[in-house]
Amino acid sequence: MKFAIGDDVGQLKIVIAPRGTDTSLKTSARPRISTYFEPDRKDSVCAVCRIERYGGVERDGMVAAVFTSGAVKLVDTNVSPISGVEKYLLYSNSPSSTSTVVSAGVRDGIIYLFHANAEVTFYRFDGEAPSIKTVALTGTIAAGAIFTQELVNGWPSALAIGGEKRELEVFEQGAEGDWKSVWKGKNVKQDKLGLEVPVYIRRILFLGTSGEAGTPTTAGHPRRQTVQTSSSRSYRLATGTYYSHLRIYDTAVSRRPVFTTCLTKSPILSLHLHPSSTSQSSTALTQPNTPPESSTTTPPYNWVYTDSNGHFALYSSTTRREAGLYKGSTGAVNATATFSKDIVAGVGFDRYLRVYGGSSREVVVKAYVKSKGTAVAVLDGEDEVVEVEMSKEEEEEEEVWGEMVEVVGEEGSSGEEGEGDFTEALVKVRRRRPRTDKEGGGSKKRRVEG
């Protein structure tokens, strides 16, 4: 198994460890760890992205590291860091904005960076030369995500942003490259005390589309219909907040969330949809005429999330219950990653990489990486196959066995043994006669003295 980890001192680490690795045990196998870049405590890594195509061809081992300053560096992890930075560093770009990065990642080969000043930067490395696109929005944000199911001129067709006291907002790209707001969320209703529920979005996820936009429905508001006509599509999104709220939106239904719950009492640090979750755009997201505080999602959504208090868990919005815990971490888990239907990885303050089986949630890899992890990505979920070369003596012995001919008995022979047929050979075994006396002192009579 192969993982990419970014840490708090601006280094990229590639960890190769088979299942069963546990560095806390002396008898365990040791992982192979390669460290790239010189440490820099002023610029930590906020995201690591697996790149499948570079220079127009598919290449294995390409990893892009995104720093909080906005710098992006592309590394060929097939090259040892001992070879020097000029060998393994394929691309580097310094930021044009002085604003810090609040959200970053990769979707369908497009790397995205959301800055706190609402500036968005896109990168693509699958062409003959790297390409960059910048989008300038207004205000301040704390989270962002992109929609890549449809592209406009090779770039995302939509994006979503949110932040402190800023509701979720969706922008779409026009044919001329301009971006306009097509949908803006609305806060949930006031609580039982008549107080406004605080808004501070920290994580945003696109869950796909929900059929044709503009279809009237009463799922969100039983007494009135809402019709979304600003966009040609309707989106499904999820947000995680500083106040530990998980909220799910359907832009075709309502401006308010159709599902909301409070996961814990601490700020959410990471939020992912578990790979086992499935969804269809033709299926309703929630049951009609159900308030978001008690609604359940019709698709089987399972959420992997962590908070600042060290809580690492799996939550089901279909049952509105916690489905299980990922145990073992000490301190907060800063970043998580999922892969296929089997792997969930996490790194954080305890300086360990922990990998869990997605269904059993048991630790399959526990590797000490010496620094606080701030980002993680799964590069390969399979164990490396090690081919052992045979010695000269073993090769000669293998050739001798290969030249031998199997000898089979003659057909039709009854009573007589065929050549090489030992099926009728008898083996006599002499058994020791068991003792019959109860005293265990032999069969002789005891001498009785008068």
Pairing of strands 110-115, 101-107: antiparallel
Give Dmax (Cα) for the chain. Answer: 127
Strands across the sheet with 179-184, in order?
143-152, 155-163, 166-173, 179-184
SS3 category, 87? helix
φ/ψ of 8, rounded to 5, equals -80, -5
Residue by residue, DSSP assigns 308-341 as TTS-EEEEETTTTEEEEE-----S-EEEEEEETT
Cβ–Cβ < 8 Å for 330, 349? yes
Question: What residue segments make up the domains of the chain, in order of their start?
Answer: 43-138
Amino acid at 165: K
What predicted TM-score, i.e. pTM, was given to this entire model? Answer: 0.81
**Fold of the CATH domain 43-138:** Thrombin, subunit H (2.40.10)
* pLDDT tens over the chain, length 450 residues: 999 999 999 999 999 999 999 999 999 999 999 999 999 999 999 999 999 999 889 999 999 999 999 999 999 999 999 999 999 999 999 887 789 999 999 999 999 999 999 999 999 999 889 999 999 999 999 999 999 999 999 999 999 999 999 999 999 998 777 899 999 999 999 888 889 999 999 999 999 987 654 444 334 444 334 444 466 789 999 999 999 999 999 999 999 999 999 999 999 999 999 988 887 777 888 988 899 999 999 989 999 999 999 999 999 999 999 999 999 999 999 999 998 878 999 999 999 999 998 778 999 999 999 999 999 999 998 876 444 455 667 777 777 767 776 655 544 444 444 455 554 555 555 556 665 555 555 555 555 554
Helix (H, G, I), strand (E, B) or coil at 266: coil
CB atoms inside a 10 Å sphere around CB 100: 15
- DSSP character at residue 226: B
Tell me how many degrees the CA angle 210-212-218 measures, rounded to the nearest 5. Answer: 70
Query: How many Å apart are CA 70 and CA 43, to the nearest integer?
Result: 9
Tokens 């006509």 belong to residue? 229
Dihedrals phi, psi of 83, to nearest 5 degrees: -70, -20
**Distance (Å, rounded) from C-alpha 350 to C-alpha 355?**
14
> How many Å from the N-terminal Cα to the C-terminal Cα in the chain?
86
